[in-house]
A and B are shown apart, each in its own frame.
Chain A
Amino acid sequence: MSAPQARPRVGLFVTCLVDLYRPTVGFAAIRLLEQAGCQVEVPRAQTCCGQPAYNTGDRATSRDLARGILDAFGGFDYVVVPSGSCGGMLREHLPHLFDDDPNLKARAAALAARSYELVAFLVDVRGVSVVDAAYAGTVTYHDSCAGLRELGVKDQPRRLLGSVAGLRLAEMAEPETCCGFGGTFCVKYPAISTRMVADKTRDIAASGADTLLAGDLGCLLNMAGRLKREASPVRSRHVAEVLAGMTDQVPPIGEARERG
Chain B
Amino acid sequence: MSSLDTRHIGTEQEPVAGGTLAPGRVLQSRYEIRGVLGMGGFSAVYQARDLRFPNVVKLCAVKEMVNHAPDPQMREIALQNFEREANILATLNHPAIPKVYDYFSEDNRAYLVMEFIDGRDLEAVISDGTGFLPQDQILAWAIQLCEVLAYLHSHSPPIIFRDMKPSNIMLDRHGQIRLIDFGIAKNFQPGQKGTMIGTEGYSPPEQYRGIADQRTDVYGLGATLHHLLSRQNPQVEPPFSFHERPIPAVNPKVYPEFAQVVMRALEYDPSRRYASPEEMKRALLVLKPASKLGTATIVSMAGSSDLTPLWTFTCEDEIRSGPALGGGAVFVGAYDHNLYALEAQSGKFLWKYAAAAGIASTPCVAEDRVLFGSQDRVLYCVNMQTGRLQWTCPSNGKIFSSPRVKFNHVFFGADDGVLYAVNFQTGRVAWKVQAEAEIRSSVCVGDEEIFFGSSDGYIYALDIRGALRWRYRTKRAIVSSPALHDDILYVGSDDANVYAIDARSGWVVWRFRTGKAVWSSPVISESQLHVGSVDGNVYALDIRTGREVWRYATEGQVTASPAVHDGVVYIGSVDQSLYSLDAHTGSLRWRFRTSGPITSVPAIGGDILYVTSTDRQVYALPI
Whether chains A and B associate is: no
Q: Which B residues are within 8 Å of any A CB, using their own CB?
A: none
Q: Which A residues are within 8 Å of any B CB, using their own CB?
A: none
